[in-house]
Structures are given as C-alpha cells and as structure tokens.
C-alpha cells in the first residue's frame, strides 16, 4: 500500500503571539463566536488569506475566466455578491468568514439559545444541513443550503 497523504497544519500562528492587543482581540472573537480554541481563529484567517492571495494573483494576471470562477465560488459560499469585483474579495474580513460557519448560522437562526449551545448541538449530531448530518461547527455553509438547516433533538424538530 502507498503512503497516506501527509497531514499538514491548515493554519499559521501569529508572529507575535504574546502581544497584549492581539491576545485581547482573540479573546473577544473567541467569546463572540463561541470558538473552542485560538486555532479556529487561525484556521479562519488562513481561509481568508488564501482567498485574498488568489484575488491579488488574478488582479495581476488579468485572467477573466479564473476571476469569474473565484467570484462564483465565493458567491456560492455566501461571501460576496454575484456581481462582485476582486476589490470586494480583498475587502473581506475575518468576521465575514466566521459568520458563514455552521455554528454561527445555527445561533443566528435562533435554533439554539446560545452560541455555545449551537456548537453542542452540532457536535452531538443534532444538526442537519439538507439531508446530511454535519458534526463540524466550522463547516462553511453554502448560501443555497442556509435555509435547509434543522435541529432535531430526541426525535423532535
């Protein structure tokens, strides 16, 4: 048998992790979005960084097909509008990424009383997106599936 795919970190830590200002900002984000650890912030920042890197590269290359693909993908995920430009992608923030997570959407749709309860429902397998049971609070919810989120506890909806 061949070697399995090598596991890699999907995030980068801050260059100055002990900066008081950064620590306070991270603590506020952890509280607001009910995240478990700072690694989840770093993961979201990495997703955002990759989108912005692609947008900068495409702006330099002037490749219209690739540009339309990227904008289409981000539109399906709910980050930008259909008629967005590369500047709209470059102006995305960490909050935009965190607002598309399943945990945040379950809470904002009032399917859970608190953001932490939303996380617990997801991890315990009570949340369905469409007909699929999703157990990852960090799941980025596509726009078309946003209205198909349901919580089923003990057989009731």
- How far apart are alpha carbons 133 and 125 in whole angstroms? 6
Q: What is the pLDDT of residue 157?
A: 55
Closest listed residue to residue 51, CA positions, set 102, 96, 8, 5: 96
Flag whether 1 is in a domain: no
Pairing of β 127-129 and β 149-151: antiparallel
Given 95, 111, 141, which residue is the final one in a domain?
95
Q: What is the pLDDT of residue 156?
A: 54
Closest listed residue to residue 41, CA positions, set 16, 33, 9: 33
Flag whether 3 is in a domain: no
Residues 59 and 74 in one domain: yes
Flag whether 50 is in a domain: yes
Residues 91 and 129 in one domain: no
Q: What is the pLDDT of residue 48?
A: 95
Flag whether 144 is in a domain: yes
Residues 88 and 112 in one domain: no
Is 100 in contact with 106 (CB distance < 8 Å)? Answer: no
- Residue pLDDT tens, the chain, 157 long: 566 888 889 899 999 989 999 999 999 999 999 999 999 999 999 999 999 999 999 989 888 899 999 999 999 999 999 888 889 999 999 999 999 999 999 999 999 999 999 999 999 999 999 999 999 999 999 999 999 999 988 755 5
Residue 156 — φ and ψ, nearest 5°?
-110, 160
Residues 26 and 80 in one domain: yes
Flag whether 143 is in a domain: yes
Q: What is the pLDDT of residue 53?
A: 94
DSSP-derived 3-state class of residue 14: coil
* Residue 34 domain boundaries: 20-95
Domains of the chain: total: 2
DSSP H or E run through 117: helix 115-123
């Amino acid at each position: 048998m061949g070697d399995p795919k090598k596991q890699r970190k999907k995030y980068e830590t801050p260059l100055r992790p002990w900066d008081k200002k950064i620590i306070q900002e991270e603590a506020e984000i952890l509280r607001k979005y009910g995240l478990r650890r700072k690694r989840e912030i770093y993961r979201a920042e990495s997703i955002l960084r990759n989108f912005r890197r692609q947008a900068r590269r495409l702006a330099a290359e002037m490749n219209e097909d690739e540009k339309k693909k990227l904008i289409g993908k981000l539109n399906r995920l709910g980050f930008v509008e259909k008629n967005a430009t590369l500047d709209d992608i470059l102006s995305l923030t960490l909050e935009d990424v965190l607002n598309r997570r399943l945990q945040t959407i379950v809470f904002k749709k009032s399917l859970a009383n608190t953001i932490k309860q939303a996380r617990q429902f997801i991890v315990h397998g009570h949340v369905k997106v469409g007909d699929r049971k999703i157990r990852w609070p960090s799941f980025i919810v596509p726009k078309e599936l946003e209205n198909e989120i349901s919580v089923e506890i003990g057989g009731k909806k």
